[in-house]
Amino acid sequence: MSSAHITASWVYTPAYRIRREEYLNTLRSFSAAGITEKSVAGPDEDSLTMAVEAVRGLLKTSGTDPSKIRALCLASTTWPYVHKHPCGAVAEATGLPRNIFTTCHFASARAGTEALIAAVLTAQLLGPSLAVISDTPVFSPADPREHGEGAAAVALLVETRESPAIMSVNTWVSTTRESLGNLCAERGDLYPSEQRNPGHADQELKLTIVPCVRDLLESSGTDESMFSVLSVNENDAKEPARYKKLLGLSSIRAHTGPVTFLGYTGACSGLLSVLHAGSSVEGGSRILLVSYGSGAVCDAISFTVKKPSAAWAGQLRPSIHLTYTEYLRYRGLLS
């Protein structure tokens, strides 16, 4: 498989945060392991506006001419519309050309890597492509998983030229199988619900990710020892170690990334982990990303870090910390 390269990236996070201590003081509990605080979309922010900010940041800091972009691949599990394509709004707001090819991905946290792979393919066929992932995961306030959900967006410029690369996308493999999945929300449901107990969830995950990673290693002629870091979609700070155990890996380091200070960012989480890990390793290091989606689907992607100093770049603004009541208002859960 011919490689493609991430030549620019930009991470956008809202300024608002809520600390673990605020949950403990208000609810006397906090169920998101290892998370000290999380990002919160402001009253005038959602996955669409954050996607726009991520693209604007990438174009400005990289000096990329918007007219040169040939494809826009968007991903989120929380688009504000059910029957309205978001690409037009993002393209119009950021000055992208009208004749670009667009794709939209959703339905599970794996949507982020779907968008990246789509951008790799369009970059090879059409020219410079943007993968833009923006998410604000939603659970019921009565659900302990709500404690960890955050908000963020990331934009990645994918090209076939290697000279300015931050990272190279070496190869990827996808697997899919029919299952109930761990999470499911039917049309009209406000929040996703748990479909299996924890034991079944581990089995579900293992049956999906193990063959995907095995196929990647076999098809690329690599083994575990060639990778420095394992990144995953991080529900909490324990998730990377859980994946490492289920995959039976020993030498590779399971990376706990921005989940500790941004919370679970849904479709963004795996790629944010890759960028964060890439900033702390030596050039030439390989990162293995395993992106699982309930249902069940998985992408395994091999990256090589080219420019560690540029891997983690973005608008991480000074934090404005919220009370729990303010947080509920900003989430639209309290009038």
Mean pLDDT, the chain, integer: 93
> Domain holding 296: CATH number?
3.40.47.10
Structure confidence at residue 150 as a pLDDT band (50, 70, 90): very high
pLDDT in tens, 174-209: 999 988 667 777 777 777 776 556 667 788 899 999
- Whether residues 111 and 198 fall in one domain: no
Please tell me the least confidently modeled range out of 238-242, 252-256, 331-335.
Answer: 331-335
- Whether residues 281 and 323 fall in one domain: no
- Whether residues 88 and 56 fall in one domain: yes
Calpha distance 265→276 (Å, rounded):
14
Domain count within the chain: 2
Question: Is residue 335 situated within a structural domain?
Answer: no
- Whether residues 220 and 240 fall in one domain: yes
Question: What tokens were used for 144?
Answer: 């302990």
- Whether residues 214 and 291 fall in one domain: yes
- Whether residues 161 and 221 fall in one domain: no
Which pLDDT score, from 0 to 100, does residue 199 have?
A: 67
Which pLDDT score, from 0 to 100, does residue 202 have?
A: 82
Question: Is residue 64 situated within a structural domain?
Answer: yes
Which pLDDT score, from 0 to 100, does residue 194 have?
A: 66
253 is in which domain, residue-wise? Answer: 169-309
Question: Is residue 76 situated within a structural domain?
Answer: yes
- Whether residues 161 and 182 fall in one domain: no
- Whether residues 35 and 116 fall in one domain: yes
Question: Is residue 105 situated within a structural domain?
Answer: yes
Q: Is residue 169 a contact partner of residue 301, using CB atoms and an 8 Å limit?
A: yes
Structure confidence at residue 299 as a pLDDT band (50, 70, 90): very high
pLDDT in tens, 91-132: 999 999 999 999 999 989 999 999 999 999 999 999 999 999
Question: 286: which strand partners?
Answer: 304
Question: Is residue 13 situated within a structural domain?
Answer: yes
- Whether residues 121 and 173 fall in one domain: no
- CB contact set of 99 (below 8 Å; sequence gap of 6+): none
- Whether residues 126 and 55 fall in one domain: yes
Residue 42 has pLDDT above 80, yes or no: yes
